[in-house]
Structure 1
């Protein structure tokens, strides 16, 4: 009887746990759905487009990384391990030799295809890349991203570069979109495929065959050919990636050639293992060959580094010149206009118009720095308890420079905990006079109304802008906002019941029949993200 009660008690606890978990999942799902819907209403295409680009990019990368094309054998490492674990569990540790052999496991065509599609969909979420997706769509639309120049980029490590020839830099510049947007994600996806679908699969297959062979014959055979094949693939992939380094110098081609030679040597070893009896155990020859190649590569690289240290201009100069050309292009240095002023020791008499022009020019020079301007502007805020300074930036109006100090709303101290929600979301929604101005030349406080008719700031930086959302109850005769002036802009999104109830349960309790304009993402950085 007591055993039955214990079972019922455990079952009740399990049901309670499942119910609590289900409630939490429902609440989270409703919350995420509400926020997704509001984002869709407020931002429209601006919100959907990044998801579209991410899905396109993620699907292509996932298809490259995870989709198996071996429909003949239809192996799956995941399902083989899962089946092995289930049989091991149900049979209390007893497993047949056939179950241990990975190559003997085969899925049906339908299950295999469904699993590949499932992996691709899951990988789409994991490998989502909006920049890559945008680049792919742009390339398919006819935008030239420099893909045709990739073969020329691969030839750069082997070119004889001259300090007077900037052709290599121009090749890199013309290929920059492809090198930065398309190539890195593609290389990562192919690398992931080589690790999971090629390397790990080959290693598991060879290991399982060795274990089965050991259990049958008592002789353990190490899969030397598989290990050599994996080393060959890894070296070849490393050599291919070295064609696209972040920096090319005189040693790049040495490392590329060394990696490709190691790959070729390992392939030769695999061939000799299969054709020459006993060569598979020639560990000394194999290890010696690899060590000799590595020592040769590093010796040549070290010798070239020593020569480059002694002859920097001849060896490093051409590569530095290419780097300078690329950096000048990225910084638009060629678009900067240079004015040459001839300063002489001779004195000349200036007329009144020239003096007036010089005086006028000097009146626009910025003399006040950030610290001085911020120090002078801070007392101007007064003793307002719900406003604080956030930052100060330089602005230009009518050929004059001004320091603009932006402010942020904060909660005054001493607000009871029960009133925090009301004050955060309905009262301190904005800064009545959002910023102050100071002349950057003479330090004079300027009335911001001279340049801005509307100074009430609902979107800004820091404070409550960063931590909370604001709400304006529509249909109320008197505004709850500080200063009593309501918001009449077009920001945010208007939400009606019952959506307001799901957004925040307080609206259900206090304003069950009111429409609410909700201002979210009020910090400029959060809004851009």
Structure 2
């Protein structure tokens, strides 16, 4: 019942209206803020980076316009159809119909629906703006612009590609044709095939299907459905689709003796279907229903084509099984040629490594070592893990940094490990202080590098290598998570250590743009300009400004490392280009990878300099478009640059297969190599055969894939010095060589089986065996293996326990030498190889066993004319340990003798001719009993002798 109280409690009649307006206003404000923020960021990018930012944007727009136009623009101005506008028309009509009207009555035929000419033209332009972003292909845009500048990408030879499946190649001419087409096949063809396929799907497939459906609905209302007409349209759609599939088969990664039949059968089937469609279209003017016989004929024709093609392929395969070389050989030769081009394998120099095991006369060992002192002093003893563990404690109490990476560098022919760091927010920072600390305090790393000599393991003062150690642009941590800023009129600094940034990185942002960029600035700095530094992660920075290159390969970021010109410090980033080759015949899907050059990114300013290196078609293209940014590699970088490990490993993987150039051997597949498991490329100072002095090289060992043994087939090196940067050489062991070159797994077993090392391993208690790197020292191939007392995962600083030199040449016996230094280890190896082991060959050789070491100690005491007494137990209230030492190796003997002699002279000889000796666990105790003020005291020393 209506009452005054009901009236009072009811909502105002316009409340819903105000709520709707409020919601619309909120949505509008949110959209305005988002659009405004993105607009400010775009403006800041253009102001800070200039054409470095706008150039990729320009190429993106060019590609979006070109590819979206091909895919989406309808040029049929006569019919002027549009699926989108037709759907809107149908929905409006459906909503406006009465409840008693059937649906079919309100759905007009798509065939009869047309836009007006202005609306049709505007809609084609609108589609490009609406959907162009989905078609961005920056490499395609770059290639289009370069072609406009009258530069050819090999498209003139594209017609020759369509002959390749139908002509059996007799030499490598077919492969050379493909090689000339690789620029077009990698950059232009894939996106064009994609957008043409989309166009066919939209304007041939979807348009025609909708036309059939709506025509059927309309014709049904008239009582005259034209089924034969519908069937003819469907036949045309399928026929065109099959023909398009056949055309795509020309752009495949593999062509063989059956490809011609597959393509031919596919094209014939498509053409026949189109012929049936035309025939049925003509008959549909008279007939409305298809004849069953005609349907059977069409199906049987397609089945017959499939059976004929399948039978021919089966017969070919059967013949090829017995005449494989004749049938498959010509195509295999093309595959080898194409992939050798992709991997640049023709540039790899192959050397025969005739492995020999020749001993050096004991009288000449010292001089032999002196002759090879240059390489022995360059041996890399400290590996990545040990260096990382030793450098980690040097971070100290700085909770705002963490290690990011550890890179091997070379300065003045010396190898160093350089650990770079990243800023992190300390866990103790409270939530309310997080924004302030992220953006204003932890803006950089004050001392961003720690260095370690890779040979001696000594920490190096990084200031001697890097004059500029403040990192404002780096990798990971806060660099990748956020930006930093400071007010331009500041007198004091909130940055770490009160640093006042004075570089060129970043941009000044004035109100009100600063408010839109970060609303907090509206309250904190309402009238002041703010200097903002963004894209501080160098990977993000490079991807934003130079998105043409690969910054992640094979599942991990491309490695970059610090270099210096003596004043400034830079990140050296390899500029690697990569393309899929799925459209390149005989490529087998192996990618096209090339080193275009390098980028120097200033760690303080973020400034980027591009360095020239490559000379392939893309390198020339990018260098033309950025002619004012590319410069020659400076001379100061000549001894710091190194060839990218990712490319070196990939090229070696390609070489593993395509070093086999004989088609018969390739088909037999018993000469393929592989990189041993868990082995990565080592960067070292070495002197392989043919080199007059030590060189900075990358090294990878290779072994046969099918071999049951674990011997090396050889090893690959890559040079890092300019001007021979990137030159690769393979040192191949002849398959019939009587002396083998053992691999990493076998050398590890050889070390484990060595008697001296087995004893030392027990004494060192769970040591970690480091990298086993193969070196050529004189005429000897030797693995140098460091053994550490603690691993990085134990929370203990790694220490070097010993160094093993294991002979890589094997003729039935392993030769192992141990030493405190690489020189001592190599000397011990040479003595063992010569069959003579002097008592002082190596100070690190283990004494034969525990009993022998105890007997040696007894001899030291007996030389003092003392009687050794071995009590069963000692129970004296007062005991004093006067010294403690370990006697595990021969190098410990002198110190043990000195301690023993001192104890005997100070505590025994003045008072007694007897000395006590007893064992307590791993220790041998030597003592004497003294009476002082009528109190009996036991004084002793403890010598660790092992179990």
Query: Shorter-chain-normalised TM-score: which range?
Result: over 0.9
1:147 to 155, 159, 165: 155
CA drift at 1:315: 3.6
Asked whether the 8 Å contact 1:214–1:221 carries over to 2, the reply is: no
Aligned to 1:325: 337
2:20 to 14, 18, 24: 14
Asked whether the 8 Å contact 2:424–2:478 carries over to 1, the reply is: yes
Cα distance, 1:371–1:306 mapped onto 2, change above 3 Å: farther
Asked whether the 8 Å contact 2:246–2:263 carries over to 1, the reply is: yes
1:288 to 300, 309, 316: 300
Aligned to 2:194: 188
Unpaired runs of 5+ residues, structure 2, are 1-5, 544-947
Alpha-carbon distance in 2 for matches of 1:221, 1:279: 7
Cα distance, 1:512–1:171 mapped onto 2, change above 3 Å: same
Aligned to 1:450: 464
Alpha-carbon distance in 1 for matches of 2:278, 2:329: 44
CA drift at 1:242: 0.5
Task: Select between 499-508 and 447-456 the one with higher mean Cα deviation.
Answer: 499-508
Matches within 5 A, 1:34-113: 34-92=40-98, 94=101, 100-113=108-121
Indicate whether 1:301 and 2:313 are aligned.
yes
More helix by share: 1
Matches within 5 A, 1:218-257: 219=225, 221=227, 223-257=230-264
Alpha-carbon distance in 2 for matches of 1:240, 1:234: 10
Matches within 5 A, 1:180-219: 180-217=186-223, 219=225
Cα deviation digits, residues 256-298 of structure 1 (max 9, x gap): 1111011122123224324667865322111111122223333
Matches within 5 A, 1:151-166: 151-162=159-170, 165-166=171-172
Indicate whether 1:169 and 2:183 are aligned.
no
Asked whether the 8 Å contact 1:99–1:105 carries over to 2, the reply is: no
Aligned to 1:518: 532
Alpha-carbon distance in 2 for matches of 1:477, 1:117: 54
SS of the residue corresponding to residue 217 of structure 1 reads coil
Alpha-carbon distance in 2 for matches of 1:360, 1:225: 83
SS of the residue corresponding to residue 100 of structure 1 reads coil
Indicate whether 1:473 and 2:487 are aligned.
yes
Aligned to 2:451: 437
Cα distance, 1:472–1:86 mapped onto 2, change above 3 Å: same
Asked whether the 8 Å contact 1:408–1:460 carries over to 2, the reply is: yes
CA drift at 1:516: 2.3
Alpha-carbon distance in 2 for matches of 1:34, 1:248: 52
Alpha-carbon distance in 2 for matches of 1:308, 1:380: 66
CA drift at 1:35: 0.9
Aligned to 2:412: 398
Task: Select between 502-511 and 32-41 the one with higher mean Cα deviation.
Answer: 502-511
Asked whether the 8 Å contact 1:135–1:182 carries over to 2, the reply is: yes
1:336 to 330, 341, 348: 348
Aligned to 1:137: 145
Unpaired runs of 5+ residues, structure 1, are none
CA drift at 1:372: 2.3
CA root-mean-square deviation: 2.7
Aligned to 1:26: 32
CA drift at 1:412: 1.2
Asked whether the 8 Å contact 2:535–2:541 carries over to 1, the reply is: yes
Cα deviation digits, residues 169-227 of structure 1 (max 9, x gap): 22222111110111111111111111111221122222222222221126562611011
SS of the residue corresponding to residue 414 of structure 1 reads coil
CA drift at 1:447: 2.1
Alpha-carbon distance in 2 for matches of 1:328, 1:153: 20
Alpha-carbon distance in 2 for matches of 1:473, 1:353: 67
Task: Select between 63-72 and 509-518 the one with higher mean Cα deviation.
Answer: 509-518
